[in-house]
Each structure stands twice: as C-alpha cells, then as structure tokens.
Structure 1
Amino acid sequence: MDVSGTGNCPVLAGVATALIDDRGIVIGWSRAAEQLLGRAAAHVLGRSIVRLLAEPGVIAGGELPRDGEAELLSDSGQAIAVRYRTEKYQSLGLSLLLAVAVEQAAETEWDTALSRALLSQSRIGFILRDKNLAVVRSNQVRGAVAGPTVPVGSRLSDVMHPDDAAGVEAALRGVLETGVPLAAHEQRVRSARAPDGDWSLAVSAVRTEDTRGRPTGVAVLFTDATKHLRADRRRELSHRASAGIGGTLDINRTAQEIVDTLVPDVADVAWVNLADATYTGDEPPKTFGGGDLHLRRAAARIATGPWPAALLQPGEPIPHFPDLPLVRELQEGRTIVVGRAALERALVDHPWLRLVAPRNGHSMIVAPLFARGLVLGVVTAWRTDQAEPFDEEDAGLLAEIAAHSALGVDNARRYTREHRAAVALQERLLPQAFTSTRVMETAGAYLPAAGGAEIGGDWFDTIELPSLRTALVVGDVTGHGLHATATMGRLRTAVQTLADLELPPDELLAHLDDLVSRLADEAELSHRDVVGATCLVAVHDPVEGHCTMASAGHPPPLLALPSADVSPVSVRPGPPLGVGGLPFEPTTVAVPPGSVLALYTDGLLQRYGTDIDSSTRDLSERLALHCRSATDLPSLAQDLISGAAQHPLSDDAALLLARTSAVQPEDVADWEFPADPRAVSSAREMAGAKLAEWGLDDIIFVTELIVSELVTNAVRYAGGPVGLRLIRGEVLCCEVTDPSNTQPRMRRARTSDEGGRGLFLVAQLSRRWGSRYGQSGKTIWVEQDLSV
C-alpha cells in the first residue's frame, strides 16, 4: 500500500507517512518515506517498525510515544533524525505515523514564527497579496500601523485614493512581473473612506513563489515615515528657501519667490503683503494695533486654478484692519497659527473675513517679515486641500523662511533706496533729452544696465557755442554705480567749461585727459584702476557746413546723409582718457543740411549683438530705415536704444542724435578792412546797411556801436587785416577777427580815464561776448538778442 500524504500541496511536501497495525507491522509506506530513508516500500512493508529505529528503546510498552523526535535508519544504515507524530484509529486498530526531517521541521517552525511575528506587529505593516493584488493576510485589518484599514479580500482602489492606488498598483505589479524587489519606496497614501487620512509610508515588497518558482503574489512591508519624511521635506524646503529667496534685488520678485517656495509643498494658498515704504526704499512706519497698516499685496499663489477673485489681488492695498490680538503679536515679531473657526470668532462676520480666508481654507499660519527691528510685511499661508492643520513644526519652518526672506526684502529695499538716489543723481547730471534751435535739433536717450538695476557713467551733452555752432559730446566712464555717476558729473562739468573756452575738440580732449589722470591720482588705491573714460567731441559749424570731431577711445559716430545713406565717420581714435602721453587727432567731415549724426556709447551696440562690426551694421540699417521714413528725432532715439533688445544690457547705453541745418548764404555777411582808423567808419556803415537790409532796424544803433568799439580796438592794438562778419540766426552774431593773440580784457574805467570803456560797454549792450583763437590771431564775438 502506497500512502503518499503530500499530493501537490507545498505545505505537505517532504512529509513521510507510514501506516502501522496494532502489532507494530508496517502496512503502508509513502513515496516521501522512500525518499527520506532511501527504503523502497517492498523492503519495509510487512516488517516491524522497530527495525527502522536506530534506538529501539524509544518504544515504551510496545508503542511509540504520540510525538517527539527519533532517529530512523536509512537503507545505508545511516541514522536520520526526524520529528514525528502518530495518530491512532481505534476502530481500525491502525496508527498513522507522520515524520519529517528535523531540519525541515525547524524551518517550518521558523516560517510559522516569522508569519506570526509579522502579523502581530504594531509598528511594521504587513500585507500578503495574491496575484490579483487582493489581500490574503494582513495585520492592517484593524489598522495596527499607519495607513488605511485593509480588510482581507480588498483591493488597492477599495481603501486608497485613486491617484495613490494607481501608483502603488503599478509598483507592485512591477515586482510581481519582474521579481525585482521594491525597497524603501516613498509613497503618499490617502484614505478613500472616512475618516480621511494622509500618510507617507516607506514601502518594501517582494514576490512570493510556490515550490516550483511560480509567482503566487506579493508580500508588502511598510512603516510610517510621515514624521521622518516631513522632517526631511522641511529641511529640504528650508535649504531651497535659503538658496532660492533673495537672490534678486527686486522686491516684487523676492515676494513671489516666497510664495513659490511655500505652494504647494507647505500650503495650498499663500500670499505676501509688503509695507508700502519698501517700494520706495524707505523704512516702514512703526505701527501697533489695527487701522491702516500701510501694506500692499505683493505676491500670491494658489496650488490649483487661477487666483480667486474674492481674495485681495496682487498690487492692491490692504484695507484698514481691525485691532486684534494676533495683529499685535505679528507686529511684535511672532508667528501665528490660527484655525478658521477661531478666525471667524475673532472677526465676527467682519468684511475682512472674505479677504483673508479662502474658500475651504481650514488652517492659517502667518509670519512677519521682521528685519533690523522693522516689520517689512507678512507672509500668510492657508491649507485647503491638505487635510492636516498647521502645527508648531510648520510654524517654526515658516518663521525660519520668513526670517531669511525678510533679509532679502530688506536688502532689496535698501538697494531700491540707493538706486533711486543714483537715478536721481544721474537724471540731474544729464542734460535735457531734446533741444531745438534754428540750426540743429537734438534728441538724447539713456538706458541703464540690467534693465535699470545698474546706473553707470554714460552721458551725452549738447552745448550751444557762439556763432551758432554746437558742440556734441558723448562719453562713457569706466564702471557702474555712484562712483561712475559722480565721475561722469565732474567730466561733464569740465567739458562744458572747456567748451566755453572754444577749444578745438582735440585740445579739449587733451585737457580732459589731464583731468582724468588727476582724478585717478586722487582716488583710493582700490579705485584707481577703474577711473577712466572714453569720450567723443564734435563741433558743428552751420556756416561752413562741416563738423570737426575727435575721439578718446570712443566708437565712431554714424552719419546719415539726406539721401538716407548711413556710414561710420572715419575718426582716428585716440587713447581713452586717463592714459596720457598721446595726442588726439581731429577729423572734419562735410555735413549737408538735413543730415543726422548719431553719437553713442559701446553699450548701445550690445542691443544689436555681440559682434561689434555686425552690431554697427545693424544699427546703421535701422537708422537708415527711420531716416527714410522721416521719423521724428525723439521717437527715433527711443527706438534705436531699445527696439532691437532681446535681453537686458550688461552695460548702460547713451545715444545722442543731431539733425543739422545750415545758415543760408544770405544770412551771412563778411568784410575785411586794413589797419586804418578810417576803416572804423566804413565797418560801421556797412554793418548798418546790412542790418537795414535784413529788417533789423531796431538794433542798428547798438550794433554800430559794438562794431565801432571792436574794430577800433583791433586797428589800435592788433593791426590788420581786420575781418568783420555778421551772422543772422536766432541771435545776431558779430565777429571781429585780427592777427593778434593778445587776450582782450575788460576793466572798469575810472571817472578821469579817457579810455578803457569799450569792452565794458560791449558787455552791457550784448547778450554775451567772448573770444576764441585760431591757427593765427583771434576772433572776438558778440551775440545780441533779436526782436524778430
């Protein structure tokens, strides 16, 4: 008789069975018994069980004990230790002997102990799932560990939020299909049934297999890592806030970085209110209690959807707030955690409630932006979708983020103050952007670097000179900030002073070069290397129709002719100002009426690219296009300085455009006289006749007197020939030229003096007067206002 006792059941695999009659004779022998002892059934059946025992003494009273351990003899005579159990069938007079090797029995006991230990754990969750991921065994039937209750037979979607269930199922099916274990996988789990719950679990999973290695399911182990993961997230969030907030000196951008850090990791809704004074760089007023808090919504963010219309919108001022204890606590620098119910009780249907409590918001936390004893604003966060209310750990995290953010806001505030001061200084140092005279129209534009963040030392200037001439100046001081701006102011003042001396452009730059060298010597050692500048000076003469210019390391200007042909002027660039020791060479070019001169700093070329040649070409093409379309000069200046920009400037830029005109030949009269006293009356008569021809009878007498005094002085002190020129423009300019280089000097004559009143009289009768020197000799000029 063959008693198998195992079949295909893995639990009974390896269990040897034997059937024994009441005489102790073996009448049944299983295949497992044959494999255990190596004895075929034919060699065992019909024989006494005693013959299989290595120690027959274990039989007491002719019977084996009910259970225990014994040693059985194999076919080779080797003793094999087994653990056995006997079951008697009294009615049949038979006994069933079940035996397994001691090693197998111990392994089974360990498996049983392990299963019992896992199912009895209160800190480690255990779920055994079949191939369909349905629960077979679990210690979560009563929610022993964090996470939803898991009944036997349930599936993932029955107990978890659909989004979470889909993620877990995908991970477990991967384990089931590949056999690759899942180790310490971080998984968010939200309950699908009341009461709601939200956990962070560390999940590990292995595939279970039968004795033939076929998958039977998945064993899942998990622990509650909510606290640890939240602590890690808080640390990571704190680090991210430190790295991501305050990197810019823009106040609104800093506020937006705060809410972007909080949502959605910490809160579902967040906003930042900043003191109005921070936008102007001033210190906010120290207030205590409710009322007008002088705050404005600077930034806001919600986790899903657009910002609610019911809440205060970014940019809007904060209305008067009731005097509540939480307001005073915030003003003292404390962080407040408030539930919705408590807030509603405090406000008692106050209209403010709809502005501070978003729909479905159940927990609020508010932290002040407190820096250097000043409350710069507040950060408010709400939870709407996240079930758990804010706790003290959240308060500590927000307080830490707010403290770091407050320094960023304060830095931005103080930078704004300094930047406003620099901008104000720059604006006051630069000339008016647009000028218009009979002979020239100019338009200037200035653009600071980095979208306004960096004020530098670029400047332009338009200086009216005698004889209807105009000096055009553009310069670029090395560096940025107040040092560069202050240096620019000093150089601009020097240029205006030197221009009043009517020095040629090359000589003016030589004097300016000496000034920059002195400024470098006066500067601190740390700033000497950055005291320098480039400059270009051009003087337009509308009578001669040309322009003389010189450059100190500056880009050449562009000349757009009336035909709209544009090209750079071939100016030989001298060294930058402050280098010293090298001359500056003048260049004279013809400038027909209607031409446009474009003087600019190298920062403008960055608006058109990084390559200087291609940038100059693009700028020229853009200038030509606008000249053909007859764009007005101010609009053209703004378009050229900003139109082609695709990114913020790394250097500031200045641009000066000048549209030229000419003095018509009929508006100029000139004569030359010998050094003869009789020439004085001739000069006076000719000047009077020309003024009468021009219709300027009102000023004939004064002009004749001025001409008489100037020509008399030239004849008496300088010799001949003596030149006289009258130019009619917005003013009447009278010029007398002589071969002497002696500087004319005005003095106040005493009562008894017979002379010495000429220049004093000229100064009293004219708008202004002066002198300039040429290659040989000098010219004394006098300007008179015209009544026409």
Structure 2
Amino acid sequence: MVDADPHLGTEASDSAVLEALFTQAPLGLFLLDEQLRVRRYNTSSRGLRGISAERVLGRTFGEVSSGLDTTELAVLARETLRTGQPVLWHTLKGTPATRPDEDLTVSVSMYQVDDAANGQPGVLLVVEDVTEREAARARLDLLYDTRRTVGTTLDATTTARELASALVPALADAVTVHILDAVLRGEPRRRGPVDAGQPLSRAAFLNGPGTHADERDTILETLPLATAFTRSLEDATPRLVTHLDAEGARSPELSEHAHALAPAGVHSLMAVPLVVPDAVLGVVTLYRSERSQPYTRQDLDLAVQVASRAALGIDHASSYARERNTATALQRHLLPSRTPELTTVETAHLHLPARAGGDWFDVIELSGARVGLVVGEVVGHGIEVAAMMGRLRTALRTLAELDLEPDELLTHLDEVAARLASENVDANGLGHDDDTPTGGRVATCAYAVYDPVKRRLTLASAGHPAPLIVSPAGEVTTVEADAGAALGTAHGTYETATYDLDDGAVLCMYTDGLLAGSDEAADMLRRVLVHQDRTLPETADAIADALTDEQAEDDAVLLLARAHGLADDQVAQWDLPSDPSVVATARSLAERQLAAWGLEDIAFETELIISELVTNAIRYGEGPVRLRLIRDRHLTCEVTDGASTSPHMRRAHDTDEGGRGLYLVMTMSHRWGTRRAARGKTVWAQQTLPARTDEGARSTQ
C-alpha cells in the first residue's frame, strides 16, 4: 500500500474550507483590504441576508454595519494591519440595520491575513451575534447587584432609592417607587388588594444615573383611578405598556414628575407591584425614553424579580419601624409624663428617641424636702430593653422611697438588675455564659440627692457619664465621682461624691447618646450651659438645637436641675433630752413655731404627731432626741434618735392599751416613714399645708 502524499490537494482543500466558511457558517466573516474595504464576506450571516453584493463589496465595514459605532473598531483594525497582533472578542452595541427597534450586541475578532496573489495584507473580521448571551449576562448582573445593594439598611426609603439606582440605567431611563404611607409608618400591613385611594409616598425618583431628584422624593400622593398603576396595586399583577400612542392617551399622567416625563419622550413603561406574601406594599414604575427599544415580556419578568427582592427589604424595614414605634411608645409610657413642681429644685428634661432604647430619667420627691435626681440607660434597643428600663425605674423609685444613700441604693439596684437579666435569659431559653446576656452590663445609672436644708448634693454613679455642675456665674465643673461598675454584675461597689451648691446652681445629667462620644459635642454642651441667664426649658431647647443629630443611632436623655436652698426661717430645730417630760416641751415649741408660720389650722394634728414620735424616740430609742420642722410645699416633722431600730405599725386589738400611735401618725399625715443614717434614724411625717397661709410670718425659734 502506498501512503497518500499529504501535500496533494492542499490548495483544493483550503479553497473548499474557505468556500464553506464564507457561504454557510453562521458567523459574520469579512475580509478587508488595506483601506478596510470589504473584499469578501459571508453571505449567510444573519445581518446581511437579502442584501445585494453591490451594497457590501468595496465598502468599509462601518458603511456595511449601520447601527453600530465602528470608529474604535477601525483604529483597532489598522493596528492589526501594522503589528499583526490579533484583536479578540471586542464588543460592540447598537441596533440591526433592518430592525432598529431591537438591541444588537456583537463580538468582533480581527486577524491579519496575507494575499499571496498580490502580496497585499488584509484583515479578517469574525463577527458573532452575542445579543442573547449579553442580555442574559446583563440580567444576571442586575439580579446580583440587586441582591448586593438593595435592602442594605432597615429603612424603607433608603431601600426604595437603592432599588431605583439598581434599575437606572440597567433596565430603565427613569424610575419611581411608591410605597404605601402606612407601610412607611410601620403600621401592620393589610392583607389583600390596595384601594386606589390609599395614600402613597413617592419614596424615590431617579431620572438618569446618579441624578436623584431629592426635592421630589417622599411626597405623599394618591394615584388616579383606572390606570396601570392602580390596577397593579389592586390585583398585585405587573403591567406592561410596550407602546404609548401618539396622542399620549396612555401616558403616565399619574403625578407631577410622570406628567413631565411624557413629553420628554417616554414611549414604554412597566408598573410592577412590590409584593410580599398576602400583601402589596407599593409599586415601582420603570420608564423608557432614551432607548428606542420598547419593554418586552422578558424585561417585565426581570423587573418582577428585582422588585420582589426590594419588597422583602421594605417589608423588613416596615417590621423594624413597627417594632421601633411600639418600643418608643412603651418607652414614653414608662417615662414620667411630667416632673413634680418643686420649690427646692427646678427641672427641665429632654428625651430624643432614635432607636427606642432604654434611656430614662426621673425626679423623685423625698422626705425632708430632699429631691432624688436620676438618669440611666439600659444597654440595647427594642421592646425588651424598654420593658427592662421600666422595671429598673420602678425598682429605683421603690429603693429611693426607703431613703437610702445613693451608693447603697445603687448596690441594691445592681442586684435587681442582675436578677432581671437572669430572668430574661431564662425566659428566652438562652445559655448562661455569664451572669447576664451582656456580660454583666445591663444598664448604667447616676443617682443624686439634693438636700435644700444643707444645700448639699450627694451623687453616686454606676458606669454612667459624669454629670456637670454649673455655678450661678456660669462656671462648668465635671462631677468627680467614681463611676463604679455598670448595673447587672450583682457585685458592684459604689462611692458617693458630695458637693455644696450655691443657690441657683444647675446640675446637668445626661446619657451618652447626647454626645455620642464626640469631644466637639461635649464642648458645645459646655458652651450652651454657660448661659445662666436662660430659663431651664430655654437651655434644654438650646442644647437640642445644638446637639440633635437626625442620623443618631442612640437615644439621648438630658435632665437639668436648678437648686434652690431653703431659707433659714423655713427650718426650725431643737435638741431635746431623752426624758419623758420633754414631750410637753416639744409640743409647746412646735405650737409657737406653727403660729409664726401661720399654720394654726393644722396645729392640733401636728402636736399629736410630735407627741407620738417624740414619745417613741424616748421610750424605744437612744438619746439625745432632735425635733425638726421644715416648711416647704408641705410641713415635715422629723424626730431623730440614736437607735437603729425602726418603728413598724401593727394592728391593735380592742383589748390592747397601746399600739395605736403610729396608726394615728399615718391617718393624720400625707406620708410618713423612716430614714436611716450612719448612726441612728429619723422618723418623719409629712402634712399637707392649708390652702392659705401667712407668707410673711417669721420664725420664733
């Protein structure tokens, strides 16, 4: 057997291959000469079928491929002729010459070829129609970008703007996003269709990439009846309008901005409802004006997928807003609606909710005309945090009613906070990696007591920002108190700081959300506090104007308290020997003092109270005995002795000769109680003053 010569028939084979390529291959093949004119081409390519050879041969590729911008392609072809380096898969976008209402994307590769017949080099262009492939890639890119960039925050308006940015220019020349106003406010979503008259907020409007019309955003409006938009809201079905008629009978005349788009060339649109299971949240409208191609059913399917992703983000944001509104309402309900009107302490407060946290304040009227001042913050945000705040505030008020010193009160409150946190862990089925779910840090708190008789402030802090004291002259001083451990460890120890306050001095207490850790904000707060010529409400307003941040992520509470000491003639005090005979003396001293104050109307009840308290102090306590009367908004009778045991009221039976004294004190008093000191105790009773008194009377002590 003789092997065939491999060189026989090579030219014939090459010619057959070329003939097959230029007559049957689906690719576009163009052989160009040095002037980039077409010398031969594939007559079977999709874009040139039915076009005569006279309209192709001898022309440049740019002339043949009308609808494509070939300027850059010509530069690349000349570079290939000069260097011989091929160009691979260069992409061109445009429209087919025979179908100007369609998109066309082609991939062009170029190779240098030599013509052996005349020795002239040329360029072979291989053109592939990749329109469908590129469209599929663009759809996948849009879906990927939507998943990555839409719904990044728990804010419905931000999500709407992210949606508009994702769609323009990828799928639309302009986009509007309408969201039901009730959804934006966080109200429970309504199942089923949406009536056409429901108010919607235009949460986003984008006309061209990066050209947000912010002045047109977040406008409340209603959409007219019997339009593609309202029908989409009513039946949760997307609408496609491929062509608007010349008269604009179906123009999107729904709102101010849409009316302006119609004469600007809008020729096709889609209305896609924002749908979650069983509910419609709004509608997104896509307009096409710059590109001549109308929307297709495939475009509508893509828009539905993008809108569904955005709808989930908006629904999550609405749920978050609903929870935040509930927590904020609970927080406001648990905070004092108003502070007591006192003569010894003038107060003003500021509450700036941002994320429904656990910030709180309180003003507590104590015995002896003293006042408790509280500012605290529970760690975290949400309904559970607001509930924890309410429980801690109630516990603190209960402890304050026992007249505990600030350091002792915070020690007990620390134990309460740890127990509440542990109960919360058990209720939610969480583990016990530590004493509390926050590693022992449940809350911070600062508690101060102002005594107007001594004009003295006593303060203790549990991990809370240091308060400020502003003198009547405007000098601002930071309270130097040991911060102590935050509440919740059950092992906290605290120390007190004591300051003597001039009449008119202001105590400024706040949570860290007011300053947000900013030195500039701290300086601004000091500059505002310097102006002591303002009233406290005016000062609070000035602080709000200077420090309020709309983007704040934490709540803030401010409590201002201006101290007013009691005058000397408002307090009467006597030291008495521990002898039963001084009971009559005590009554006589009190009678004269009440007469000087013009309080004869309550003298009988006061003398009975004093008799009982002094008798108990002499009989069951340790001498000496001190009697003090304080005339403020109430009349307070205080009897102090050296014993630490506290009296307690018991029920006296009919046959008992004693046991009714404290019952009489209770019935004749507005309030009564016992206040412990480092040594001894004070039993006090508070009476309501008569409606009319002699303000000009002077003490006779």
TM, length-normalised to structure 1: 0.74
Give the SS at the match of 2:47.
coil
1:671 aligns with 2:574: yes
C-alpha distance in 2 between matches for 1:587 and 1:313 = 53
C-alpha distance in 2 between matches for 1:511 and 1:599 = 21
Q: Which position in structure 1 is the counterpart of 2:374?
A: 473
Q: Is the contact made by 2:112 and 2:122 (CA closer than 8 Å) also made in structure 1?
A: yes
Q: Is the contact made by 1:187 and 1:201 (CA closer than 8 Å) also made in structure 2?
A: yes
Query: Mean alpha-carbon deviation: is it higher for 670-679 or for 152-161?
Result: 152-161
CA separation of 1:682/1:655 partners in 2, compared to 1, >3 Å: closer, same or farther? same
Query: Mean alpha-carbon deviation: is it higher for 751-760 or for 702-711?
Result: 751-760
Q: Match for 1:629: what amino acid?
A: H
CA separation of 1:304/1:568 partners in 2, compared to 1, >3 Å: closer, same or farther? closer
CA separation of 1:341/1:669 partners in 2, compared to 1, >3 Å: closer, same or farther? same
Q: Is the contact made by 2:168 and 2:209 (CA closer than 8 Å) also made in structure 1?
A: no
Q: Which position in structure 2 is the counterpart of 1:625?
A: 527
CA separation of 1:219/1:679 partners in 2, compared to 1, >3 Å: closer, same or farther? same
CA separation of 1:210/1:158 partners in 2, compared to 1, >3 Å: closer, same or farther? closer
Q: Is the contact made by 1:506 and 1:550 (CA closer than 8 Å) also made in structure 2?
A: yes
C-alpha distance in 1 between matches for 2:541 and 2:120 = 75
1:204 aligns with 2:109: yes
Q: Is the contact made by 1:556 and 1:571 (CA closer than 8 Å) also made in structure 2?
A: yes
Q: Which position in structure 1 is the counterpart of 2:468?
A: 558
Q: Which position in structure 2 is the counterpart of 1:607?
A: 517
The alpha carbon displacement at 1:175 in A equals 4.5
Q: Which position in structure 2 is the counterpart of 1:508?
A: 409
C-alpha distance in 2 between matches for 1:458 and 1:230 = 53
C-alpha distance in 2 between matches for 1:584 and 1:218 = 88
Q: Which position in structure 1 is the counterpart of 2:390?
A: 489
The alpha carbon displacement at 1:761 in A equals 3.8
Q: Which position in structure 2 is the counterpart of 1:745?
A: 648
Q: Which position in structure 2 is the counterpart of 1:586?
A: 496
1:281 aligns with 2:183: no
Q: Is the contact made by 1:607 and 1:649 (CA closer than 8 Å) also made in structure 2?
A: no
Gaps of 5+ in 1: 1-80, 82-101, 609-614
Q: Which position in structure 2 is the counterpart of 1:322?
A: 226
Q: Is the contact made by 2:375 and 2:446 (CA closer than 8 Å) also made in structure 1?
A: yes
Which among 356, 362, 385 is matched to residue 455 of structure 1?
Answer: 356
Counting aligned pairs with the same residue, the percent is: 38
Q: Is the contact made by 2:27 and 2:45 (CA closer than 8 Å) also made in structure 1?
A: no
C-alpha distance in 2 between matches for 1:427 and 1:658 = 21
Which among 677, 684, 688 is matched to residue 587 of structure 2?
Answer: 684
Which among 296, 300, 322 is matched to residue 417 of structure 1?
Answer: 322
Q: Match for 1:364: what amino acid?
A: L
CA separation of 1:245/1:306 partners in 2, compared to 1, >3 Å: closer, same or farther? closer
Aligned length: 671
Give the SS at the match of 1:732.
strand
Matches within 5 A, 1:54-133: 120=23, 123-128=26-31
The alpha carbon displacement at 1:351 in A equals 6.4
Q: Which position in structure 2 is the counterpart of 1:529?
A: 437
Q: Is the contact made by 1:596 and 1:660 (CA closer than 8 Å) also made in structure 2?
A: yes
The alpha carbon displacement at 1:503 in A equals 0.9
Give the SS at the match of 1:711.
helix
1:538 aligns with 2:448: yes
The alpha carbon displacement at 1:222 in A equals 1.7
The alpha carbon displacement at 1:571 in A equals 2.1
Q: Is the contact made by 1:675 and 1:719 (CA closer than 8 Å) also made in structure 2?
A: yes
CA separation of 1:251/1:131 partners in 2, compared to 1, >3 Å: closer, same or farther? same
Q: Match for 2:633: what amino acid?
A: E
C-alpha distance in 2 between matches for 1:784 and 1:295 = 58
Q: Which position in structure 1 is the counterpart of 2:47?
A: 144
Query: Mean alpha-carbon deviation: is it higher for 121-130 or for 459-468?
Result: 121-130
The alpha carbon displacement at 1:228 in A equals 0.7
C-alpha distance in 1 between matches for 2:49 and 2:456 = 90
C-alpha distance in 1 between matches for 2:390 and 2:201 = 37
Which among 274, 281, 288 is matched to residue 369 of structure 1?
Answer: 274
Q: Which position in structure 2 is the counterpart of 1:428?
A: 333
Q: Is the contact made by 1:607 and 1:645 (CA closer than 8 Å) also made in structure 2?
A: no
Q: Match for 2:278: what amino acid?
A: G
Q: Is the contact made by 1:147 and 1:197 (CA closer than 8 Å) also made in structure 2?
A: no
C-alpha distance in 2 between matches for 1:305 and 1:516 = 50
The alpha carbon displacement at 1:507 in A equals 1.7
1:595 aligns with 2:505: yes
RMSD: 4.3
Q: Match for 1:714: what amino acid?
A: A
CA separation of 1:255/1:304 partners in 2, compared to 1, >3 Å: closer, same or farther? closer
Q: Is the contact made by 2:195 and 2:234 (CA closer than 8 Å) also made in structure 1?
A: no
Which among 518, 534, 538 is matched to residue 419 of structure 2?
Answer: 518
The alpha carbon displacement at 1:184 in A equals 0.7
The alpha carbon displacement at 1:719 in A equals 5.7
CA separation of 1:136/1:661 partners in 2, compared to 1, >3 Å: closer, same or farther? farther
Query: Bigger radius of gyration, 1 or 2?
Result: 1
Q: Is the contact made by 1:468 and 1:541 (CA closer than 8 Å) also made in structure 2?
A: yes
Give the SS at the match of 1:526.
coil
Q: Which position in structure 1 is the counterpart of 2:154?
A: 249
Q: Is the contact made by 1:591 and 1:660 (CA closer than 8 Å) also made in structure 2?
A: yes
Q: Match for 1:739: what amino acid?
A: G
The alpha carbon displacement at 1:128 in A equals 4.9
Q: Is the contact made by 1:276 and 1:284 (CA closer than 8 Å) also made in structure 2?
A: no
Q: Is the contact made by 2:450 and 2:457 (CA closer than 8 Å) also made in structure 1?
A: yes
Query: Mean alpha-carbon deviation: is it higher for 170-179 or for 139-148?
Result: 139-148
C-alpha distance in 2 between matches for 1:271 and 1:571 = 56
The alpha carbon displacement at 1:776 in A equals 2.4
The alpha carbon displacement at 1:161 in A equals 6.7
Give the SS at the match of 2:459.
strand
1:337 aligns with 2:240: yes
C-alpha distance in 2 between matches for 1:147 and 1:658 = 92
C-alpha distance in 2 between matches for 1:214 and 1:607 = 79
C-alpha distance in 2 between matches for 1:350 and 1:233 = 27
Q: Which position in structure 1 is the counterpart of 2:485?
A: 575
Q: Match for 2:361: what amino acid?
A: F
Q: Match for 1:485: what amino acid?
A: A
Q: Is the contact made by 1:125 and 1:222 (CA closer than 8 Å) also made in structure 2?
A: yes
C-alpha distance in 2 between matches for 1:622 and 1:349 = 54
